[in-house]
């Protein structure tokens, strides 16, 4: 047996992260923790873009550890661009603690570097990776490549898949399929290696239909492989870098075991975390986000206290109170559609789909009438937005790429959770019947 992989220890890096010569540790340290602070306390629908401002400034000044006198103007230019960015988002960031902290930090840096508030404010340059950085270093530690760290006599790892898309529909690591309300912020994954949180917002004001508008992924620091990294995507903003502007795992020896690749600009990114054998796909389809992950079972179950993982949606599924039986709604829609054909035609908004037009539209991309097809129909009926058809299509494309068992790509039965008010399903475990019979016998004594 190979030794168990060492547990993650997340360490905060002290001081400033390349913010310039002579910068005060208090202000810079504050900027360093802002991305993590925002991820822990996200606002559900906040349009505040302070994270983007922070990321751009860090990327522009990441090489400024030892600024010479001739480079000081460049730092001041980046600082003015940073200030300009915060002013642009001032109206939407009222009351945001991270925003006000950034504004005060900028003022401190202006004084420390003798920067004038008047001057050029060219956009900060994005940090470029050094030559050869796009390839994994051949001398990276073996522990930073999950599959290579398995001994030859050990069995190959078992991989699992979880995905979230549409209104939203959840496929868990155990291949259960649910449609959920889950409005607001919810944890998808929470284990020793990474955290994934999604925020779902109403598609239309007052609508019960929700979709994913924000996604935050925190990769925890791991041995000599990667530093802690935070990735964040929002509606109309799918960056191809972590919030600090980098595209790999930082400064450690095995940093390239964590990489972001942009597949389609603004629409599709892929994150490879080889040190934990994990692949993550994030897409923006229309205005909303989809998420898919391929992860070894060992990593999935690497939790400190399994009993406390009740809201780990990819592992446990949605709470029963948050689940929607979309198949019964679909049947009602079909019945209503047949009744409408027999009676007088009713006016409908131009964007609305009938059951027949929704099924026809979904069949264009999803010819097999599985749960992805049914989810597509449900979403078109509830939102009227054709992009939800594409979300279901791409979600299934991601399943084909990421799922290790090709016989389980299609699912046909939605998973139902038995709640106290439900009747017992057919096929109740024999042990339960024996217990009930014993109880009845005791009552008769």
pLDDT digits (tens, 9 = 90+) for 203-233: 888 777 899 999 999 999 998 899 999 999 9
Compute, in degrees rounded to 10, the torsion defined by CA atoms 176, 178, 183, 185: 10
Q: Are 157 and 289 in a shared domain? A: yes
| Residue 341 counted as domain residue | no
% residues pLDDT > 70 (the chain): 66
pLDDT digits (tens, 9 = 90+) for 275-308: 999 999 999 999 999 999 999 999 998 887 666 5
CA distance 137 to 256: 7
pLDDT at 19 over 60: no
Tokens of 211: 């979709």
Integer angstrom CA distances of residue 346 from 133, 334, 354, 381: 61, 15, 11, 16
pLDDT score of 159: 94
| Residue 252 counted as domain residue | yes
pLDDT at 343 over 50: no
Q: Are 400 and 281 in a shared domain? A: no
**Which pLDDT band, with edges at 50, 70 and 90, does 152 fall under?**
low
Domain boundaries, position 388: 326-336+352-408
Q: What is the mean pLDDT of residues 369-395?
A: 95
DSSP codes joined into one string, 180-221: E---EEEEEEESSSEEEEEEEEESSTT-S-EEEEEEEEEEPP
Q: Are 226 and 290 in a shared domain? A: yes
% residues pLDDT > 90 (the chain): 41
CA distance 311 to 206: 25
pLDDT at 419 over 90: no
| Residue 208 counted as domain residue | yes
CA distance 435 to 367: 46
pLDDT at 182 over 80: yes
Q: What is the mean pLDDT of residues 194-206?
A: 91
Match 């600009």 to its residue by tokens: 265
**Higher-confidence residue: 197 or 47?**
197
- Tell me which of 350-354, 364-368, 413-417 is least confident: 413-417
3-state secondary structure of 128: coil
pLDDT at 310 over 70: no
Q: What is the mean pLDDT of residues 53-78?
A: 67
Let me know: does 294 contact 278? Beta carbons within 8 Å.
Answer: yes
pLDDT score of 331: 54
Buried b / exposed e along 206-233 (16+ C-beta atoms within 10 A): eeebbbbbbbbbbbbbbbebbbbbbbbb
**Higher-confidence residue: 309 or 381?**
381
| Residue 219 counted as domain residue | yes
pLDDT score of 436: 40
pLDDT score of 441: 41
**Higher-confidence residue: 18 or 22?**
22
Q: Are 396 and 365 in a shared domain? A: yes
User: Of 113, 134, 164, which one is at a domain's C-terminal end?
Assistant: 113
CATH of the domain at 271: 3.40.1000.10
Q: Are 375 and 267 in a shared domain? A: no
Angle (deg, nearest 10), helices 25-40 and 50-61: 140
pLDDT score of 154: 67
Let me know: does 197 contact 312? Beta carbons within 8 Å.
Answer: no
| Residue 55 counted as domain residue | yes
Tokens of 10: 């997340």
- Residue 5: how many CB atoms within 10 A of its CB? 18
Buried b / exposed e along 253-271 (16+ C-beta atoms within 10 A): bbbbbbbbeeeeeeebbbb
Picking from 198, 177, 181, the residue whose alpha carbon sits closest to that of residue 323 is: 181
pLDDT at 442 over 80: no
| Residue 427 counted as domain residue | no
**Which pLDDT band, with edges at 50, 70 and 90, does 309 fall under?**
low
Q: Are 146 and 277 in a shared domain? A: yes
Q: Are 79 and 184 in a shared domain? A: no
User: Of 64, 97, 113, which one is at a domain's C-terminal end?
Assistant: 113
pLDDT score of 290: 98
Q: What is the mean pLDDT of residues 165-169?
A: 94
pLDDT score of 168: 93
| Residue 421 counted as domain residue | no
Integer angstrom CA distances of residue 29 from 12, 62, 67, 293: 10, 14, 19, 32
CA distance 162 to 172: 5
Q: Is 63 left (phi over 0), alpha (psi -120 to 50) or beta?
A: alpha
Average confidence score pLDDT of the chain: 75
At residue 258, what are phi and psi to the nearest 5 degrees? -130, 115
The number of folded domains in the chain is 3
Q: What is the mean pLDDT of residues 367-389?
A: 94
Q: Are 241 and 309 in a shared domain? A: yes
pLDDT at 349 over 50: no
**Higher-confidence residue: 326 or 8?**
326
**Which pLDDT band, with edges at 50, 70 and 90, does 93 fall under?**
confident
| Residue 321 counted as domain residue | no
Q: Are 149 and 236 in a shared domain? A: yes
Picking from 255, 290, 292, the residue whose alpha carbon sits closest to that of residue 274 is: 255
pLDDT at 413 over 90: no
Q: What is the mean pLDDT of residues 134-138?
A: 43
pLDDT at 81 over 70: yes
Let me know: does 198 contact 215? Beta carbons within 8 Å.
Answer: yes
pLDDT score of 328: 59
Half-sphere exposure of 283 (CA within 13 A, CB side): 21
Q: Are 312 and 165 in a shared domain? A: yes
CA distance 72 to 423: 72
Q: Are 258 and 305 in a shared domain? A: yes
Q: Are 296 and 393 in a shared domain? A: no
Picking from 129, 135, 134, 132, the residue whose alpha carbon sits closest to that of residue 62 is: 129
CA distance 23 to 42: 28
pLDDT score of 351: 60
pLDDT at 128 over 50: no
């Amino acid at each position: 047996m190979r030794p168990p992989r060492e547990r993650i220890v997340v360490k905060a890096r002290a001081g400033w992260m390349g913010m310039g010569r002579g910068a005060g540790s208090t202000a810079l340290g504050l900027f360093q923790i802002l991305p993590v602070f925002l991820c822990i306390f996200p606002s559900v629908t906040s349009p505040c873009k302070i994270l983007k401002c922070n990321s751009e400034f860090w990327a522009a000044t990441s090489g400024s550890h030892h600024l010479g006198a001739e480079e000081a103007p460049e730092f001041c230019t980046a600082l003015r661009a940073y200030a300009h960015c915060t002013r642009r988002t001032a109206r939407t960031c009222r009351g945001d603690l991270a925003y006000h902290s950034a504004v005060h930090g900028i003022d401190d840096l202006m004084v420390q570097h003798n920067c004038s508030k008047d001057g050029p404010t060219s956009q900060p340059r994005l940090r470029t990776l050094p030559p050869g950085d796009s390839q994994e270093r051949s001398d990276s530690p073996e522990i930073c490549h999950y599959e290579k760290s398995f001994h030859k006599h050990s069995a190959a790892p078992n991989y699992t898949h979880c995905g979230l898309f549409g209104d939203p529909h959840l496929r868990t690591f155990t291949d259960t399929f649910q449609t959920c309300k889950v409005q607001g912020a919810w944890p998808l994954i929470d284990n020793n290696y990474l955290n994934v949180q999604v925020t779902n917002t109403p598609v239309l004001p007052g609508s019960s239909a929700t979709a994913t508008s924000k996604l935050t992924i925190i990769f925890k620091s791991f041995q000599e492989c990667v530093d802690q990294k935070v990735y964040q995507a929002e509606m109309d903003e799918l960056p191809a870098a972590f919030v600090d502007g980098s595209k790999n795992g930082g400064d450690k020896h095995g940093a390239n075991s964590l990489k972001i690749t942009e597949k389609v600009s603004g629409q599709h990114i892929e994150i490879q975390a080889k040190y934990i054998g994990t692949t993550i796909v994030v897409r923006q389809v229309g205005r909303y986000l989809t998420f898919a992950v391929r992860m070894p079972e060992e990593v999935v179950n690497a939790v400190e206290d399994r009993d406390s993982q009740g809201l780990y949606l990819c592992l446990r599924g949605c709470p029963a109170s948050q689940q929607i039986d979309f198949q019964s709604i679909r049947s009602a829609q079909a019945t209503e559609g047949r009744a409408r054909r027999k009676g007088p035609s009713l006016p409908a908004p131009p964007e609305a789909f009938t059951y027949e037009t929704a099924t026809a539209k979904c069949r264009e991309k999803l010819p097999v009438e599985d749960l992805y097809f049914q989810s597509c129909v449900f979403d078109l009926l509830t939102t009227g937005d054709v992009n939800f058809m594409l979300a279901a299509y791409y979600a299934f494309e991601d399943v084909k790429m990421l799922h290790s068992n090709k016989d389980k790509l299609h699912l046909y039965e939605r998973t139902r959770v038995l709640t106290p008010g439900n009747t017992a399903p057919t096929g109740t475990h024999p042990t339960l019947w024996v217990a009930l019979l014993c109880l009845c016998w005791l009552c008769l004594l």
